[in-house]
Amino acid sequence: MTNETIDIEEQEQEDLLYEHFRMEVDKGQVPIRIDKYLVEHQPHSSRNRIQQAADAGFIHVNEKPVKSNYKVRPGDIITLMLDRPHYDTTIEPEDIPLEVVYEDADLMVINKPAGMVVHPGCGNFNGTLVNAIAWHLKDLASYDPNDPEVGLVHRIDKDTSGLLVVAKTPDAKTSLGKQFFNKTTHRSYNALVWGNFVEDEGRIEGNIGRDPKDRLRMEVFPPDSEIGKPAVTHYRVMERYGYVTLVECILETGRTHQIRAHMKHIGHPLFADERYGGTEILRGERTASYKAYIQNCFKLCPRQVLHAKTLGFVHPRTGQQMDFTSEWPADMTALIDKWRKYIKAKE
């Protein structure tokens, strides 16, 4: 059995399925739910992800799809079947420019541009940030880009720009990973969202889980529900432009699409965020000139307006507090300037 993580984030079942791993249940195995069994044998997969795979018909036992409550028996042949051929996930170095903000023997901090995928996945097997890091560190004998004990400590979305930390050693990744898990890191994002806020700051709490109607999008569920994972976002108004607002978001947790889903949940989708409804004209005037203005804004910054502005952590070797700040990229800067001029002209 391979060590491939069960990941169906962007998969939809088709008639033709391909085998991605196969294993035989031990002879002495007592009956146990297959989702629990696979969690124990797939340490890089969550039980929720395994249940999603089963619900989608991707987990087969003895060549037949089963649900997550199926109880495995000795001699069962378990396979993961996906609707894409198995792809060699070996990470190869690629000569892609990197903006390295800081680097030493233990780690480096990178300012990722919008549009760059962080890690290889379905449909993006090269040209990623991980490939670029592998090239940057290709002369470092101790760094293996295919070793999960080193490398990226956290991720941001493809069309989100900003700061990420990379561990060069297993000790550095362990230390940084614990800091993220224990919520002792400091991360803030800047986002342009639709609508004006009544209050100057607030707190959003709601579990983040896969949207059952759209598997490429996350949904917010009640905190006391058993759906999704707990998530908390704090926000503060930075500037108001009438129909849109520039906010700072500070994360207590780091869930997939957390800021995007939380802002959508409270009625303030990120500007130009197509997946969460931000490419609709949600606030403002009905005039042709205003509609043309918004379309020009979308062209100026054709992605969700979200930037990982600051990143702080304790250095894994020295114990020193490390704090980094990155400037907005050109597209976001131009868009904010355009809104500032717009609201000034309205005064």
Measured from the Cβ of residue 264, the count of other Cβ atoms closer than 10 Å reads 23
Dihedrals φ, ψ of 176, to 5°?
A: -65, -40
Show Cβ contacts of residue 50 under 8 Å, excluding neighbours closer than 6 positions: 6, 34, 35, 38, 39, 42, 59, 68
Measured from the Cβ of residue 166, the count of other Cβ atoms closer than 10 Å reads 26
**Active site members:** 157
Structure tokens at 114: 């919008």
What is the residue whose two structure tokens read 């993220």? 180
Are 92 and 104 in contact, with CB atoms under 8 Å apart? no
3-class SS letters over 171-206: HHHHHHHHHHHCCCCEEEEEEEEECCCCCCEEEEEC
Show Cβ contacts of residue 104 under 8 Å, excluding neighbours closer than 6 positions: none
The residue type found at 266 is: I
Rounded distance, CA 131 to CA 97, Å? 11
Q: Which residues pair with 111 in a beta bridge?
A: 163
Rounded distance, CA 46 to CA 258, Å? 18
Dihedrals φ, ψ of 214, to 5°?
A: -150, 105
